[in-house]
Amino acid sequence: MLTTFVTLAVVLLAYSNGANDNFKGVATLFGSNTTNYSRALAWATVTTLLGSFMAVLLAGELLKSFSGKGLVDDALVANADYTAAVALGAGLAVLLATRLGMPVSTTHSLLGALVGAGLAANSSIRLDRLGGNFFLPLVLSPLLAVLASIIAYPVFRLARQRLGISAETCLCAGNRVLETIPSSDQCIAMERAAFLTVQIGDRVTCQNIYRGEVWGYEVKSILDGLHFLSAGAVSFARGLNDTPKIASLLLILPLFNGLAGMAIVGLAIALGGILNARRVADTMSQRITPMNPGQGFTSNLVTSAIVIGASRLGMPVSTTHVSCGGLFGIGIITGEGRWNTVLKILGAWVTTLPLGGALGAGSYTIITGL
């Protein structure tokens, strides 16, 4: 009975992780109008699943980090009540954030639940390990992403200009291109868009596009291809980094080895993304900062490099924090960041850890009481 409950709690956590996190890797594809929601989600699902299964080979160290071993008493790590409470508490915290459309860190909620359930069980907590092995990578990684985006985007923009590639604004009604004008004429674009909306009766949107050729190939096709690859790399990195953290909670069950646990977790993550990703997708794609394909590609490249590197080193970074950090950096360098949304996201980040702790402690108290 307890084995079934632990498994279901871990599956709930994996499902909530997928619902909150799966679309983050492809948010720039949707936000920059490179593709539609359905195609972006399908690409995220496939590449995240690939990362989940590759975690068996590339991210084994994270299995050990998030089992709780070395953080709480060793006897408690092998306790099924504790494991179920951690999974349930973290899963509920992420599901609540998903319902509110807030992109939060499963890593933070899981860490909070590990500590909260441990305190409820009267376990000692290794504060030195908590700070050096967990908090430091989690805090520094989004700051690194902000800085990397601020540095990388001007470099890519300069390279674009040196190659003779121009940026234009496309006025589109649905899939129809009505007019293209220089990207610097934003005020003119908005005035014309308002006029065309009245004349045609369709919703007119302004989209940034690139014109030119590189080695005889249309630059838009090249950039779209690179953008898809970078988004896939972020989703792959997320599956690689998050799957072993969740699967580590199944290690106490003899039924699951590393491979079986990661397979179950990977499938539950995919299902959560397919069924419940839309609210967080809208926040990540539309509400942090306007972006064009080049900016989206830059953010994805930064995110995937940081998360894959951290996974390989066994460092528990949050893909959410890193990907948002990349978008924050783009918003800073372009001056178009929507800081009300950014502040709300930062507020959600601050509350995730204590909320996960409280729900983990409450879940442990209820489970042991039963």
pLDDT tens per residue, range 2-48? 678 888 999 999 999 999 988 988 998 998 888 899 999 999 999 99
Q: Are 324 and 345 in contact (CB under 8 A)?
A: yes
Query: What pLDDT is attached to residue 198?
Result: 45
> Which pLDDT value is given to residue 58?
64
Q: Where are the alpha helices (DSSP H) in 250-338?
A: 258-276, 278-282, 293-312, 319-334
Banded model confidence at residue 91, pLDDT cuts 50, 70, 90:
very high
- Please state the separation of Cα 333 from the chain's center in Å: 21
Task: State yes or no: pLDDT of 86 exceeds 80.
Answer: yes
Is the predicted pLDDT of residue 232 greater than 80, yes or no? yes
Residue 95 has pLDDT above 80, yes or no: yes
Residues 41-71 pLDDT 10s: 999 999 999 988 887 676 555 555 555 566 7
> For residue 149, is pLDDT > 70?
yes
| Distance from C-alpha of 265 to C-alpha of 244, rounded to nearest angstrom | 8
Percentage with pLDDT > 90 across the chain: 28
Nearest alpha carbon to residue 110 among 368, 287, 363: 363
- The pTM for the full model equals 0.80
Tokens of 33: 């109008």
Q: What integer best gives the mean pLDDT of the chain? A: 81
pLDDT of residue 138: 74
CA 218 – CA 213 distance, rounded (Å): 5
Q: Per-residue pLDDT averaged across 294-311, rounded? A: 86
Q: Look at strands 213-214 and 217-218 and give their pairing.
A: antiparallel
Q: Give the pLDDT confidence score for residue 364 in this predicted structure.
A: 93
